[in-house]
Amino acid sequence: MPILISGIPTPRSALFFHRAERNQAVIFDPACAPLLRPVVDVDTLQPWYTPVGERWLLAIPHGYSQRANIATFTDLIQQYPGLRLRLNHYADISEPYWWEMPPAASAALMTATPRILIGTGDHPPLAWDTGNTVVLAPIRILAPADHLTLALLATEGGRRALRQAQDSISLPTVPTAMAGRLAELAAQAVAVAHERQTLAQQFARRLLADFGPPGSKLSPALEHWWELEFRDLLVEVARALRNPIPEPFQPFWVARHTEDRARYYALTTEIAAIEAAIAEIAHPLWQEHTL
């Protein structure tokens, strides 16, 4: 029976790295790479698939430092010099091993993949996770997981069961033929969502790279660029990034915006059709299971 584990409590701010800081640390010292893991929280969790975002966490498990003969902050920096630039601002913290995760985080950090990430609310997003992410509470983790379980949970019956579940969840019995079809549909939804999120992320990052001054961030409107008509995109780029798209480059951007926006909505329609197909198969199974 799959078990439910809470994500880790939000760690101290010193341990969070922006994507650029993480990349800089790993380029300088590749040994840092396994210690820095992408973060998923309630603000970044997306249905079916969540891309690697902008925030990373120094996720050193509790007890690691003693096993690695790291007794002080100086020892840590000597062993992992790539962390120096980000962590030097916090060198005066006196708490022992402050750079480690608390013991309570161990279960979430060590959860095997693949797994399912479960958001909050009456209609929580559910995402397939095969990566090395660090999941922050109040997101919950369900493991072990497979695509059939994802399909069953991504329905009204599944979400109702999740709202009532504490440490584990009981799933309906699924005939073999139906199980194969549900698993296939869930895998398709993950793949399509992956393409949609990658498309959204690449467009946004190109906007920021081309027109964002150093250290700038996209506004919420630009992060959801597909919701904007091109004329509104022009206005928002100039307002939020203080760097308007030059007129000679506008034909390129209007073509890209038109093409990527159409593709984004086509993928959204495809996901909705897959969700409807899953619900049609799974609804009777949940009804029978709850009798």
Q: The pTM is what? A: 0.91
Cβ–Cβ < 8 Å for 225, 189: no
pLDDT at 189 over 70: yes
pLDDT tens digits along 223-252 = 999 999 999 999 999 999 999 999 999 999
**Mean pLDDT, rounded, for 196-214:** 95
User: Percentages helix, strand, coil for the chain, rounded to the nearest 5?
Assistant: 55, 15, 30
Asked, as a colleague might, if the bond just before 138 is cis with ω within 30 of 0, I would say yes
Quick one: pLDDT band at residue 272, thresholds 50, 70, 90?
very high
Region 76-105: mean pLDDT is 93
CB burial string 210-219: b at 16+ within 10 A, e below: ebbeeeeebe
Please state, rounded to an integer, the average pLDDT across all residues of the chain. Answer: 93
pLDDT of residue 291: 58
pLDDT of residue 106: 85
100 vs 164: CA distance, rounded Å: 33
The pLDDT score that the predictor gives to residue 196 is 97
Does the structure show a pLDDT above 90 at 107? no
Is 141:175 a contact under the CB 8 Å cutoff? no
**pLDDT tens-place string over residues 55-69:** 999 999 999 999 999
Place of tokens 């640390």: 25
